[in-house]
Structure 1
């Protein structure tokens, strides 16, 4: 009897432990949201010396003028407090990533980090704050962290008070991106001499909660729908990618289709996941490098290291300005850092290590998430030899009209090959991001995909 009961007790204890790890926070903890914490879970107070100010609600909706959908710069004319270069980088290394330090080494004469006064501009609509509080007490991890339960009603920020690394990641994956929208953007992968071909995209993003004909039961495991059309150059124009992004991608893998304009055919595209090649990226990014990281988390173990203060890309209104041309931004080695803006902010630090038996070209990812927005802003990618390979930087910008944190651009720098890829540029687009599109479920079906081709 004693021998029989001991394993049973151990099993019960392990089950209880697993339950406590996966459980949502208590109502008492959730009550911190909007009081001692910001509504999305960041520390509300300033840091010790005031270099990071207290959060007071973010930018007002009239922070600057908006022209043709392009955001004006609320901090126009502001000058950097100081600039970090290769000569003084070591003095600031405690607030820089390994990847940033590697960029100073690789591009000693050109790479710089202009540091501006920290501005806590993040904000979101009240209904998103309400959703985050609802998520905090209801949402739980399932399937070893690869899925979420009790999430289909709230839909945003499942773990605003995270307890582990994968919960931090989920806040990035399920962050508020605004309503259904259309984005026109450019991607480029410059050669080492700076020459490049601009790949132009039109991208539609739609969410079940903003689609009038959405069936709640059928879309319970759908995070969003995504459609990406290649507009230029002519040799690629007409190709279209369609995604149904699922929440639990292990139980129900991401569904993807590609319309090939040359063949005039729609095909399933299971390669649009993990380390499959990114669209028209010249091999410079993986599918899961889009938006810094996307997709299923199941191939990695996610370790929460903690919080720290770092210099990260922030409030990059100048980089997104329609007054700036792509040729002003895209240079040899890296983007024009004089157009970038960095600030001191608190970040969540997470290390993702490839699980034994799993395959991915990145064996480790060292990641930093902005505490105010949960946007992933810095990632160091390591290859199979555990050597730093690619450095990712997300140049965030706050849409003070819609209450959305997005990226003015994303750079992915290969510090071994000396090349990089930049995506998400919109400076020369006809207009800025368009929100509140009327999207139907029928717009995001394989049957409709053939009609998206332009030839």
Structure 2
């Protein structure tokens, strides 16, 4: 048994023996480790035994030379060359570092590859966030069988040392997103022949903790408007995201320009399809995973060193056109950077009696940023159906690791969908402010007009 599997076996055994203790808050001794042998967010500060994953030394907190905000992110590692490339011919050599999803993609598409570069642990947050994490780590605990948080104020990492799978997932759900931001994501359904039509949006997101007057039991507010193509332009979606969705279901509204009406949309949740995704993406696949976790049993498998997309500045290059990124079967893999990093592996298994198109999901969470970097999604027969990948980079201008885009490959349909690319769009605006009235159904109606 190798070191990773041994670690997973020990953690799994402890969880089965101490399910009650797993809900306990961090004690003072564990909190004191943050910023010492652990990073302020709870990751191992030390390098891996072989040195391929370096020690965390504070992350990337200042823009590189030549950075011009009007031109997008400057790649601080542009001069680096791949250490090696994983292909279908040599994938067995790197099997321990590959998720089942990557193995399946390598086997299915002969030209698919992973260019692997030196690892850089660039993730970093503002000092105020580190202070808040340490302050709340001894207070926050799971509520309502893991479907909410107690004593939560505004920390972006409620569980720096997770003991259960659902604790790790909450670190992803509430991770730091600069309070509020406006961005212009593009969604593209790519057919087997490579054809696609960009669906453009204008989206505003506000974390409830960054608003002066949020309602109780709120995590964030979302307002999205489709701006093109003409066939779907003008459609708007408003979401008030509860912290505990078993206490109060997701509140969602849509504005249909044809009817000129605002309608409640309780169906925008779980495995209902995103209306512009041609059946390739469910609502709870947005941001890799979102929404209520109550349909699944969550297992913390353990921490593992794997190849994951990281520091993907090349893919964010604003000189690129979408035609250079999108290819038949998969993205242009010469533009995607992979690095070895330690990730938390979390398995979600559908509870008996529950219904969802995915019977099992395996998530891979970055130990430094807590963002989900990849996911393998299985159908009811136990077959691997879809493979998700998030393109992470450190936004050194605002100290956040919000990924720039994500992609989901449908292995059965031989199609894929990508979301979030902004190469041809306006720049993301971070630190926006808003009030509750800006995310009201009345505001939705005004935006539609």
Q: Same fold (TM over 0.5)?
A: yes
Structure of greater Rg = 1
Aligned to 1:428: 424
- 1:407 matched to 2:388: no
Structure 2 distance, partners of 1:143, 1:434, is 36
Give 1:92's aligned residue: 94
Secondary structure of residue in 1 paired with 2:339: strand
Does structure 2 retain, via aligned residues, the 8 Å contact 1:187–1:425? yes
Q: Distance in 1 between matches of 2:105 and 2:233?
A: 34
1:19 offset after TM fit, Å? 4.9
- CA deviation vs aligned residue, 1:220-270 (integer Å, no higher than 9, x gap): 311110111101000111100000111101101111000011111111111
User: What corresponds to 2:369 in structure 1?
Assistant: 373
Distance 1:453 1:126 in 2: 40
Measure, in 1, the Cα distance between the counterparts of 2:231 and 2:444. 19
Q: TM-score by structure 2 length?
A: 0.94
Counterpart of 2:182 in structure 1 is 182
SS of 1:172's partner is helix
Q: Distance in 2 between matches of 1:429 and 1:333?
A: 24
Q: Is 1:150 matched with 2:151?
A: yes
Structure 2 equivalent of residue 11 of structure 1: none
Structure 1, 110-119 or 155-164: larger mean CA deviation = 155-164
Alignment of 1:277-356 (within 5 A): 277-356=273-352
8 Å contact kept, 2:129–2:155: no
- In structure 2, the partner of 1:209 is 209
Cα separation, 2, equivalents of 1:439 and 1:69 = 26
Task: Check whether the contact 1:136–1:161 (CA below 8 A) recurs between aligned residues.
Answer: no
CA contact (8 A) 1:135 1:159 kept: no
Cα distance in structure 2, aligned partners of 1:135 and 1:392: 31
Equivalence for 1:122: 123
Deviations 1:272-306 (A, max 9, x none): 10001114001101000001000010000001110
Bigger shift: residues 169-178 or 62-71: 62-71
Q: For the residues of structure 2 that align with 1:24 and 1:279, how far apart are their CA atoms? A: 40
CA deviation profile, 1:298-345 (whole Å, cap 9, x unmatched): 000001110110000000001011011111111110111100000000
Match of 2:251 among 248, 252, 255: 255
CA spacing shift, 1:88–1:19, aligned 2, 3 Å: closer
User: For residues 378-406 of structure 1, what are the alpha-carbon distances to aligned partners after superposition, in whole Å with 9 as ceiling and x for unaligned?
Assistant: 10000011110000011111101111111
For residues 378 and 251 of structure 2, what CA distance do their matches in structure 1 show? 28
Which piece of structure 1 moves more, 113-122 or 438-447?
A: 438-447
Question: How far 1:72 sits from its partner (Å)?
Answer: 1.1
Residues 1:227 and 2:223 aligned together: yes
Task: Select the residue among 235, 238, 245 that pairs with 2:234.
Answer: 238
Distance in 2 (alpha carbons) for counterparts of 1:410 and 1:436: 22
Q: 2:167 is paired with a residue of what secondary structure?
A: helix
1:175 positional shift: 0.5
Report the number of matched residues.
432
Task: Please state whether the residue corresponding to 1:162 is helix, strand or coil.
Answer: coil
Aligned residue in 1 for 2:159 = 159
Cα deviation, residue 62, structure 1: 2.5
TM-score by length of 1: 0.93
Between the aligned partners of 1:17 and 1:318, the Cα distance in structure 2 is 45
In 1, the alpha carbon distance for the partners of 2:61 and 2:134 equals: 22
Task: Report deviation, 1:63.
Answer: 2.5
Cα 1:350/1:209, change in 2 over 3 Å: closer
Alpha-carbon offset, residue 18 of structure 1: 6.0
Q: Which residue of 2 aligns with 1:44?
A: 45
Q: Give per-residue Cα distances to partners, 1:190-219, cap 9 Å, x unaligned.
A: 11000001000111011233234x15xxx3
1:54 aligns with 2:55: yes
Distance 1:63 1:94 in 2: 34
* 8 Å Cα contact 2:71/2:318 also seen in 1: no
1:28 deviation in Å?
Answer: 0.8
Q: What is the CA distance between 1:40 and its match in structure 2?
A: 0.2
Secondary structure in structure 2 of the residue aligned to 1:356: coil
The answer to whether the aligner puts 1:138 opposite 2:133 as a matched pair is: no
Give the SS at the match of 1:407.
coil
Cα distance in 2 for residues equivalent to 1:135 and 1:159: 9
CA RMSD of aligned residues (A): 1.3
User: How much does 1:45 deviate?
Assistant: 0.4
SS in 1 for 2:187: strand
CA contact (8 A) 2:61 2:399 kept: no
Corresponding position of 2:394 = 398
Change in Cα spacing, 1:161 to 1:395, as seen in structure 2 (3 Å) is same
Instruction: State the Cα distance separating 1:351 from its structure 2 match.
Output: 0.7
- Determine if contact 2:154/2:209 at 8 Å carries over to the other structure: no
Residue 269 of structure 1 is matched in structure 2 by 265
Deviation at 1:67, TM superposition (A): 2.8
CA contact (8 A) 1:69 1:434 kept: no
List gaps (5 residues or longer) in structure 2.
1-16
